[in-house]
A and B are shown apart, each in its own frame.
Chain A
Amino acid sequence: MAKLKQDNASYRLGMHTEQLVGRTQQIFFSPEEAQNFTCPDAYDVDFDKRTQFDATDMDIKAINLKIRALMSEGYGTIAVQNPGARHSLGVGILNRLQLIFEGSLGYFGVGLIDGPNVRITGRVGWSCAENMLAGTVVVEKNAGSCFGAAIRGGDLVCKGDVGARTGIDQKGGTILVGGRAGAFTGFMMQRGRIIILGDAGRNLGDAMYDGIIYVGGKIASLGTDAVPAEMTDLDSAWLSPKLGMYGLNTPNGVENMQKIVAGKQLWNYDNLEPVEKKIVL
Chain B
Amino acid sequence: MCGIAGLIHRGSSANIGHELTAMLQALKHRGSDSAGFALYGHPQPDHYVMRFKVAEQEDLKSGFSIHEQMLKRKSTVDQRMTEIGAKLESQEQATEYAYRYLFAYDGKLRRLADYIEDVEGAEILSIGHALELVKDLGDANRVSSQYQLGAFEGSHAIGHTRMATESNVDICSAHPYWAYPFHDVAVVHNGQLTNYWGKRRELERRGHRFMSNCDSELIAVYLADRMDRGDELEEGMNRSITELDGVFTYVVATADSLGMAKDVMAAKPMVLYEGDDFIALASEEVAIRSIFPHEIDTYDPYEGEVRVWQS
**A contact residues vs B (CB 8 Å cutoff):** 56, 84-87, 103-104, 106-107, 121-123, 125-126, 141-145, 160-161, 163-165, 180, 182-184, 201-202
A164 to B303, CA, bound (A): 7
Complex contact A123–B286 (CB within 8 A): no
Q: Which residues of A contact B289 (CB under 8 A)?
A: 84-85, 104
User: Is residue B285 contacting chain A, with contact meaning CB distance below 8 A?
Assistant: yes
Complex contact B299–A125 (CB within 8 A): no
CB-CB under 8 A for A142 and B285, given A84-B293, A164-B265, A183-B264: no
13 residue pairs bridging A and B, Cβ less than 8 Å apart: A56-B293, A84-B289, A86-B286, A104-B298, A123-B298, A123-B299, A125-B284, A142-B300, A163-B302, A164-B265, A164-B302, A182-B300, A201-B303
A123 to B296, CA, bound (A): 9
Q: Nearest CB to that of A165 among chain B residues? A: B266
Complex contact B269–A103 (CB within 8 A): no
Closest CB-CB distance, B163 to chain A, in whole Å? 16
Complex contact A104–B295 (CB within 8 A): yes
Told that A145-B300, A202-B264 touch, could you supply 14 new A-B pairs with CB distance under 8 A?
A103-B295, A107-B284, A121-B295, A122-B295, A123-B285, A125-B271, A126-B269, A142-B298, A164-B300, A180-B302, A182-B302, A183-B265, A183-B266, A201-B266
Closest CB-CB distance, A100 to chain B, in whole Å? 14
User: Is residue B297 contacting chain A, with contact meaning CB distance below 8 A?
Assistant: yes
Q: B51-90: which have CB < 8 Å to A?
A: none
Complex contact A125–B285 (CB within 8 A): yes
Bitwise, B300-311 to A at CB < 8 A (1) or not (0) is: 101110000000
User: Is residue B267 contacting chain A, with contact meaning CB distance below 8 A?
Assistant: yes
Q: Nearest CB to that of B297 among chain A residues? A: A141
Complex contact A182–B303 (CB within 8 A): yes
Q: Which residues of B contact A145 (CB under 8 A)?
A: 266, 269, 300
Selected from A85, A142, A143, the residue in CB contact (under 8 A) with B286 is A85
Complex contact A183–B302 (CB within 8 A): yes
A180 to B303, CA, bound (A): 12
Q: Nearest CB to that of B26 among chain A residues? A: A85
Nearest 10 Cβ contacts at the A-B interface: A164-B266, A85-B285, A183-B303, A163-B300, A142-B299, A85-B289, A85-B286, A144-B300, A183-B266, A106-B286
Q: Nearest CB to that of A162 among chain B residues? A: B300
Q: Nearest CB to that of B298 among chain A residues? A: A123
Q: Nearest CB to that of A123 among chain B residues? A: B298
Closest CB-CB distance, B288 to chain A, in whole Å? 8
A145 to B299, CA, bound (A): 10
A209 to B265, CA, bound (A): 20
A125 to B293, CA, bound (A): 17
Q: Which residues of B contact A184 (CB under 8 A)?
A: 265-266
A141 to B300, CA, bound (A): 12
Bitwise, B248-284 to A at CB < 8 A (1) or not (0) is: 0000000000000000111101010000000000001
CB-CB under 8 A for A161 and B299, given A84-B289, A123-B285: yes
Selected from A56, A142, A144, A183, the residue in CB contact (under 8 A) with B269 is A144
Q: Which residues of B contact A122 (CB under 8 A)?
A: 295
Most B CB contacts (10 A, CB to CB) among A85, A87, A106, A142 go to A85
Q: Nearest CB to that of B299 among chain A residues? A: A142
Closest CB-CB distance, B29 to chain A, in whole Å? 9
Q: Which residues of B contact A104 (CB under 8 A)?
A: 285, 289, 295, 298
A142 to B295, CA, bound (A): 13
Q: Nearest CB to that of A56 among chain B residues? A: B293
Complex contact B284–A106 (CB within 8 A): yes
Q: Which residues of B contact A103 (CB under 8 A)?
A: 295
Q: Which residues of B contact A84 (CB under 8 A)?
A: 286, 289, 293
Q: Nearest CB to that of A143 among chain B residues? A: B300
Closest CB-CB distance, A221 to chain B, in whole Å? 11
Q: Which residues of B contact A165 (CB under 8 A)?
A: 266
Q: Nearest CB to that of B293 among chain A residues? A: A84
